[in-house]
Structure 1
Amino acid sequence: MATSILEARFRELILPHLDSAFNLACWLTHNRDDAQDVVQEAAMRAYKYFAGFHGDDGRVWLLRIVRNTFYSWCRVNGAASQTEFDETLHSLDPSGDAWPEQARATPEALLMRQDCDRVVHQALAALPLEFREVVVMRELEDLSYKEIAAIVGIPIGTVMSRLGRGRKLLARSLGATLGGNDGA
């Protein structure tokens, strides 16, 4: 009976966050297949150790396991994956609020948006891992500084510092790519 309650709690607290886990793994590995492997291993670890989980925020706990699994995976498979970044995997939803309805309607606008998305994702993918992971967690997963600190295992001040430096590197890269001011 206790096992079914534990399994129900696992389904309720952990399984809804598999998409976030996969998104983080994709940004860390740069490869959809490797990300699937990392998330599968992380989900198995989460299930195995779930009886020891006593919190209510399964998302933070699962993302920390994904991150730790990624670093373990890197040790086994060598350095972080050097596979080419898959822009279609990380493309933004074209129905997002960032673009007005009329701007999404024309083929030219769609091409401009796709090119902008591609440039931003390439710049984000090029960030050093320690900055990329906090930027992804904050900007794409909308996690708080406290949640990121818990996942990465660093103080909140370090999260803020890495996020600030990551944003500056991203802005500099985008400025150089788009031919604008690099912010220096």
Structure 2
Amino acid sequence: MEDSDEAKFAAWRAGDARAGAELFERHYDAIARFFRNKVDVDAPDLIQKTFLGCLESRERVRGDSSFRTYLFAVAHNVLYKHFRSRSRSPLDFGVTSVHDLRPSATALLARRGEEQALLQALRQIPLEHQVTLELYFWEKLGAREMAEIQGVPEGTIRTRLRRAKQLLEQALARVARSPAELHDTLANLDAWASSVRAQVAGRSDRPAT
């Protein structure tokens, strides 16, 4: 129990800087994955803001929520605030995509055409659907956890996930370089998603702690 996220977080809240550093190390890759296919040069700053925001709003952690779910909820709020602060007009993340907001942003490097197509397609669907799919495929979160993170009912998440998969298939049809690439990506979506996840987690741009 002393090594659990919740125990480390309690120690961090009490002023134990080492416990905070251990939590940062433990969850850095997951939070980095959350930002990397949505923002580029701003990602390290948003990761730092997420962990700082986690500490500042520590009293909001509910006993029935895991620390990991809470951390992603903070990251979700940081991301939306980031985009809203840079837009001159109100944003509807059920309609607006990362591609709409930053069409020239550099996507993550990928080794295979199918991986590149998947990353590009994710950036072209509405942000709330992109978030849902990435939490589902990359972090293996369930509907209940995703509902807590995004602040919507669990039924909404299930509907959103179905719609997100449809939108992703349509986006893949636009960005795939050939019918064969499209077919292979759709037929092996879980495998390509896992491959991309491993590459994102393997990047070495984390700061020293």
Confirm or deny a common fold (TM above 0.5): yes
For residues 156 and 14 of structure 1, do their structure 2 counterparts lie closer, same or farther at Cα, with a shift above 3 Å needed?
farther
Q: Is the 8 A contact 2:73 2:150 kept in 1?
A: yes
Gaps of 5+ in 1: 92-112
Q: Using the alignment, how far apart are the partners of 1:140 and 1:4 within structure 2?
A: 27
Q: Is the 8 A contact 1:28 1:133 kept in 2?
A: no
5 Å-filtered alignment, 1:88-127, equals 88=109, 91=110, 114-127=112-125
5 Å-filtered alignment, 1:1-184, equals 6=14, 7=16, 10=20, 15-29=25-39, 31=40, 33-55=41-63, 57-78=66-87, 81-82=101-102, 83-88=104-109, 91=110, 114-176=112-174, 177=176, 178-179=178-179
- TM-superposed CA distance for 1:87, in Å, is 2.6
Task: Using structure 2 for the length normalisation, give the TM-score.
Answer: 0.64
- TM-superposed CA distance for 1:64, in Å, is 0.4
More helix by share: 1
Deviations 1:74-119 (A, max 9, x none): 222227640424231xx4xxxxxxxxxxxxxxxxxxxxx6111111
Q: Using the alignment, how far apart are the partners of 2:12 and 2:122 within structure 1?
A: 42
Q: Using the alignment, how far apart are the partners of 1:179 and 1:127 within structure 2?
A: 20
The letter for the 2-side match of 1:87 is L
Q: Using the alignment, how far apart are the partners of 2:161 and 2:170 within structure 1?
A: 14
Q: Using the alignment, how far apart are the partners of 1:133 and 1:5 within structure 2?
A: 28
For residues 4 and 77 of structure 1, do their structure 2 counterparts lie closer, same or farther at Cα, with a shift above 3 Å needed?
closer
Gaps of 5+ in 2: 1-9, 92-97, 187-209
Identity %: 24
Q: Using the alignment, how far apart are the partners of 1:68 and 1:166 within structure 2?
A: 20
Q: Using the alignment, how far apart are the partners of 1:170 and 1:151 within structure 2?
A: 21
* Bigger Rg over Cα: 1
SS in 2 for 1:28: coil
Q: Which residue does the alignment assign to 2:6?
A: none
Number of matched residues? 157
For residues 73 and 115 of structure 1, do their structure 2 counterparts lie closer, same or farther at Cα, with a shift above 3 Å needed?
same
Moved more, 78-87 or 39-48: 78-87
SS in 1 for 2:112: helix
- Please give the root-mean-square deviation of Cα atoms over the aligned residues, in Å: 2.9
